[in-house]
Structure 1
Amino acid sequence: MSPSLSSRPGAFVLLIASLAGLAIALYAYFTPLTGVTGTLGALVAIVACLALAVMALLLFKVKRRGASIVLRILILMGLAGTFFAGMLLHQWWISAAMVVGLIGLIVDMVRATHHARLTHT
Protein backbone atom coordinates (compact mmCIF):
# COMPACT_ATOMS: atom_id res chain seq x y z
CA MET A 1 0.00 0.00 0.00
CA SER A 2 1.36 3.43 -0.88
CA PRO A 3 2.25 5.84 1.93
CA SER A 4 -0.61 8.22 1.07
CA LEU A 5 -3.18 5.42 1.28
CA SER A 6 -1.86 4.09 4.57
CA SER A 7 -1.83 7.56 6.10
CA ARG A 8 -5.44 8.30 5.03
CA PRO A 9 -7.51 5.15 5.76
CA GLY A 10 -10.72 7.17 6.14
CA ALA A 11 -10.36 8.72 2.70
CA PHE A 12 -9.61 5.26 1.29
CA VAL A 13 -12.82 3.85 2.84
CA LEU A 14 -14.72 6.82 1.42
CA LEU A 15 -13.28 6.17 -2.02
CA ILE A 16 -14.19 2.47 -1.91
CA ALA A 17 -17.72 3.27 -0.67
CA SER A 18 -18.19 5.83 -3.46
CA LEU A 19 -17.04 3.35 -6.09
CA ALA A 20 -19.32 0.67 -4.63
CA GLY A 21 -22.25 3.11 -4.75
CA LEU A 22 -21.32 3.94 -8.35
CA ALA A 23 -21.32 0.25 -9.30
CA ILE A 24 -24.70 -0.32 -7.63
CA ALA A 25 -26.22 2.77 -9.27
CA LEU A 26 -24.91 1.69 -12.68
CA TYR A 27 -26.40 -1.76 -12.15
CA ALA A 28 -29.76 -0.26 -11.17
CA TYR A 29 -29.73 2.11 -14.15
CA PHE A 30 -28.87 -0.44 -16.82
CA THR A 31 -30.40 -3.70 -15.58
CA PRO A 32 -34.03 -4.34 -16.53
CA LEU A 33 -36.63 -4.90 -13.80
CA THR A 34 -34.78 -3.03 -11.05
CA GLY A 35 -37.60 -0.52 -10.90
CA VAL A 36 -35.35 2.42 -11.77
CA THR A 37 -33.98 1.29 -15.14
CA GLY A 38 -33.22 4.34 -17.26
CA THR A 39 -34.65 6.85 -14.77
CA LEU A 40 -33.29 10.30 -14.08
CA GLY A 41 -32.99 9.52 -10.37
CA ALA A 42 -30.65 6.60 -11.00
CA LEU A 43 -28.61 8.75 -13.37
CA VAL A 44 -28.29 11.44 -10.68
CA ALA A 45 -27.11 8.78 -8.22
CA ILE A 46 -24.47 7.70 -10.74
CA VAL A 47 -23.20 11.27 -11.16
CA ALA A 48 -23.26 11.88 -7.39
CA CYS A 49 -21.25 8.72 -6.65
CA LEU A 50 -18.77 9.67 -9.35
CA ALA A 51 -18.42 13.16 -7.84
CA LEU A 52 -17.91 11.63 -4.38
CA ALA A 53 -15.16 9.38 -5.75
CA VAL A 54 -13.41 12.39 -7.30
CA MET A 55 -13.70 14.36 -4.05
CA ALA A 56 -12.32 11.38 -2.11
CA LEU A 57 -9.30 11.37 -4.42
CA LEU A 58 -8.90 15.12 -3.88
CA LEU A 59 -8.95 14.49 -0.14
CA PHE A 60 -5.70 12.54 -0.57
CA LYS A 61 -4.01 15.49 -2.28
CA VAL A 62 -5.24 18.51 -0.35
CA LYS A 63 -2.79 19.80 2.25
CA ARG A 64 -4.24 23.12 3.41
CA ARG A 65 -6.63 23.04 6.34
CA GLY A 66 -9.20 25.42 4.85
CA ALA A 67 -9.42 23.49 1.60
CA SER A 68 -9.82 20.20 3.44
CA ILE A 69 -12.64 21.63 5.57
CA VAL A 70 -14.51 22.88 2.50
CA LEU A 71 -13.95 19.57 0.75
CA ARG A 72 -15.22 17.60 3.75
CA ILE A 73 -18.35 19.76 3.93
CA LEU A 74 -19.02 19.14 0.24
CA ILE A 75 -18.44 15.41 0.74
CA LEU A 76 -20.84 15.38 3.68
CA MET A 77 -23.53 17.11 1.61
CA GLY A 78 -22.92 14.67 -1.25
CA LEU A 79 -23.15 11.67 1.07
CA ALA A 80 -26.41 12.92 2.59
CA GLY A 81 -27.95 13.69 -0.78
CA THR A 82 -26.92 10.39 -2.31
CA PHE A 83 -28.16 8.51 0.77
CA PHE A 84 -31.53 10.22 0.38
CA ALA A 85 -31.60 9.48 -3.35
CA GLY A 86 -30.87 5.82 -2.66
CA MET A 87 -33.76 5.71 -0.21
CA LEU A 88 -36.15 7.34 -2.69
CA LEU A 89 -35.04 4.94 -5.42
CA HIS A 90 -35.49 1.94 -3.08
CA GLN A 91 -31.86 1.07 -3.74
CA TRP A 92 -30.89 0.26 -0.17
CA TRP A 93 -27.36 -0.80 -1.08
CA ILE A 94 -26.58 2.70 -2.38
CA SER A 95 -27.72 4.11 0.95
CA ALA A 96 -25.65 1.50 2.82
CA ALA A 97 -22.58 2.45 0.77
CA MET A 98 -23.11 6.10 1.71
CA VAL A 99 -23.26 5.17 5.41
CA VAL A 100 -19.92 3.38 5.00
CA GLY A 101 -18.61 6.49 3.23
CA LEU A 102 -19.78 8.61 6.17
CA ILE A 103 -17.86 6.35 8.54
CA GLY A 104 -14.78 6.82 6.35
CA LEU A 105 -15.23 10.59 6.41
CA ILE A 106 -15.54 10.58 10.19
CA VAL A 107 -12.40 8.45 10.52
CA ASP A 108 -10.56 10.84 8.20
CA MET A 109 -11.63 13.86 10.26
CA VAL A 110 -10.70 12.24 13.57
CA ARG A 111 -7.29 11.14 12.30
CA ALA A 112 -6.62 14.62 10.89
CA THR A 113 -7.50 16.18 14.24
CA HIS A 114 -5.33 13.68 16.08
CA HIS A 115 -2.44 14.31 13.66
CA ALA A 116 -2.82 18.09 14.09
CA ARG A 117 -2.66 17.73 17.87
CA LEU A 118 0.49 15.65 17.67
CA THR A 119 2.28 18.10 15.39
CA HIS A 120 1.31 21.22 17.39
CA THR A 121 2.33 19.92 20.82
Structure 2
Amino acid sequence: MLQSKPSRAGSSLLLLAAVIGFAVAIYAWLTPLTGVTGTIGALGVAIACVLLAILTFLLRAASARGARIFLIVVTLVVLIGIGFAAALLHQYIITAAMVAGLIGLIMLSNDSTRHQRRVNA
Protein backbone atom coordinates (compact mmCIF):
# COMPACT_ATOMS: atom_id res chain seq x y z
CA MET A 1 0.00 0.00 0.00
CA LEU A 2 1.36 3.40 -0.95
CA GLN A 3 1.54 6.02 1.75
CA SER A 4 0.49 9.61 1.21
CA LYS A 5 2.94 12.48 1.52
CA PRO A 6 1.86 13.60 5.03
CA SER A 7 2.21 10.02 6.24
CA ARG A 8 5.72 9.66 4.81
CA ALA A 9 6.74 13.09 6.06
CA GLY A 10 5.31 12.44 9.52
CA SER A 11 6.96 9.06 9.90
CA SER A 12 10.24 10.44 8.55
CA LEU A 13 10.12 13.30 11.04
CA LEU A 14 9.35 10.91 13.89
CA LEU A 15 12.18 8.60 12.85
CA LEU A 16 14.58 11.53 12.51
CA ALA A 17 13.69 12.65 16.04
CA ALA A 18 14.44 9.15 17.34
CA VAL A 19 17.82 9.05 15.55
CA ILE A 20 18.83 12.51 16.78
CA GLY A 21 17.75 11.67 20.32
CA PHE A 22 19.71 8.41 20.24
CA ALA A 23 22.84 10.06 18.84
CA VAL A 24 22.86 12.91 21.35
CA ALA A 25 22.08 10.59 24.29
CA ILE A 26 24.91 8.21 23.36
CA TYR A 27 27.25 11.18 22.88
CA ALA A 28 26.32 12.54 26.33
CA TRP A 29 26.68 9.08 27.89
CA LEU A 30 30.14 8.45 26.41
CA THR A 31 31.76 11.89 26.40
CA PRO A 32 33.45 13.18 29.56
CA LEU A 33 32.42 16.55 31.04
CA THR A 34 28.85 16.46 29.69
CA GLY A 35 27.51 16.08 33.21
CA VAL A 36 25.75 12.79 32.48
CA THR A 37 28.72 10.64 31.50
CA GLY A 38 28.01 7.02 32.33
CA THR A 39 24.67 7.70 34.03
CA ILE A 40 21.68 5.42 33.76
CA GLY A 41 19.51 8.37 32.70
CA ALA A 42 21.41 9.03 29.49
CA LEU A 43 21.48 5.32 28.69
CA GLY A 44 17.75 5.09 29.42
CA VAL A 45 17.03 7.93 27.00
CA ALA A 46 19.10 6.20 24.32
CA ILE A 47 17.19 2.94 24.82
CA ALA A 48 13.87 4.80 24.77
CA CYS A 49 14.86 6.42 21.46
CA VAL A 50 15.44 2.95 20.00
CA LEU A 51 11.96 2.01 21.25
CA LEU A 52 10.61 5.16 19.57
CA ALA A 53 12.15 4.11 16.25
CA ILE A 54 10.59 0.64 16.58
CA LEU A 55 7.21 2.21 17.38
CA THR A 56 7.55 4.40 14.28
CA PHE A 57 8.01 1.35 12.05
CA LEU A 58 5.11 -0.44 13.75
CA LEU A 59 2.91 2.62 13.28
CA ARG A 60 3.74 2.76 9.58
CA ALA A 61 2.80 -0.90 9.18
CA ALA A 62 -0.40 -0.87 11.26
CA SER A 63 -3.60 -0.77 9.27
CA ALA A 64 -6.32 -1.59 11.82
CA ARG A 65 -7.88 1.46 13.46
CA GLY A 66 -7.60 0.14 17.02
CA ALA A 67 -3.96 -0.83 16.58
CA ARG A 68 -3.13 2.58 15.12
CA ILE A 69 -4.82 4.40 18.01
CA PHE A 70 -3.00 2.23 20.57
CA LEU A 71 0.37 2.81 18.87
CA ILE A 72 -0.27 6.55 18.61
CA VAL A 73 -1.02 6.76 22.35
CA VAL A 74 2.03 4.66 23.28
CA THR A 75 4.24 6.73 20.97
CA LEU A 76 2.90 9.93 22.53
CA VAL A 77 3.72 8.66 26.03
CA VAL A 78 7.24 7.67 24.91
CA LEU A 79 7.79 11.09 23.28
CA ILE A 80 6.72 12.93 26.41
CA GLY A 81 8.82 10.66 28.62
CA ILE A 82 11.95 11.09 26.52
CA GLY A 83 11.46 14.85 26.34
CA PHE A 84 11.00 15.13 30.12
CA ALA A 85 13.97 12.89 30.89
CA ALA A 86 16.16 14.84 28.48
CA ALA A 87 15.13 18.10 30.13
CA LEU A 88 16.11 16.67 33.52
CA LEU A 89 19.48 15.65 32.06
CA HIS A 90 19.93 19.18 30.62
CA GLN A 91 20.09 17.74 27.09
CA TYR A 92 17.75 20.24 25.47
CA ILE A 93 18.64 19.16 21.93
CA ILE A 94 16.89 15.87 22.64
CA THR A 95 13.87 17.73 24.02
CA ALA A 96 13.71 19.84 20.86
CA ALA A 97 13.97 16.68 18.74
CA MET A 98 11.03 15.18 20.65
CA VAL A 99 8.96 18.30 19.92
CA ALA A 100 9.74 17.76 16.23
CA GLY A 101 8.77 14.11 16.70
CA LEU A 102 5.48 15.25 18.22
CA ILE A 103 4.80 17.27 15.08
CA GLY A 104 5.51 14.15 13.02
CA LEU A 105 3.15 12.11 15.19
CA ILE A 106 0.42 14.71 14.72
CA MET A 107 0.96 14.51 10.96
CA LEU A 108 0.68 10.72 11.12
CA SER A 109 -2.44 10.74 13.27
CA ASN A 110 -4.22 13.31 11.10
CA ASP A 111 -3.43 11.26 8.01
CA SER A 112 -4.79 8.05 9.54
CA THR A 113 -8.19 9.56 10.34
CA ARG A 114 -8.58 11.05 6.90
CA HIS A 115 -8.15 7.78 5.00
CA GLN A 116 -10.18 5.44 7.22
CA ARG A 117 -13.68 6.73 6.50
CA ARG A 118 -16.29 4.39 5.08
CA VAL A 119 -19.14 5.29 2.76
CA ASN A 120 -22.54 3.75 3.45
CA ALA A 121 -25.03 3.59 0.59
Match of 2:24 in 1: 24
Code of the residue aligned with 1:63 in structure 2: it is S
Q: Does the 8 Å contact 1:42/1:89 carry over to 2?
A: yes
Give the CA RMSD over aligned residues.
1.4
The farther-off stretch of 108-117 and 65-74 is: 108-117
| Distance in structure 1 (CA, Å) of the matches to 2:14 and 2:26 | 18
Give the superposition deviation at 1:116.
Answer: 2.4
Matches of 2:45 and 2:4 in 1, distance apart?
26
Per-residue deviation, residues 58-96 of structure 1 (Å, max 9, x unmatched): 111111111111111110000000000000000000100
TM-score computed with the length of structure 1 as normaliser: 0.90
1:17-64 residue CA offsets vs partner (Å, 9 max, x unmatched): 111111111111111111101001001101110100110011111111
The percent of aligned pairs where both chains have the same amino acid is 49
Cα distance between partner residues in 2 of 1:56 and 1:12: 9
Ranges in structure 2 where 5+ consecutive residues have no aligned partner: none
Number of residue pairs aligned between Structure 1 and Structure 2: 117
Which residue pairs with 2:9 in the alignment?
Answer: 9
Once the 2 structures are TM-superposed, how far is the Cα of residue 4 of structure 1 from its aligned partner? Answer: 4.3
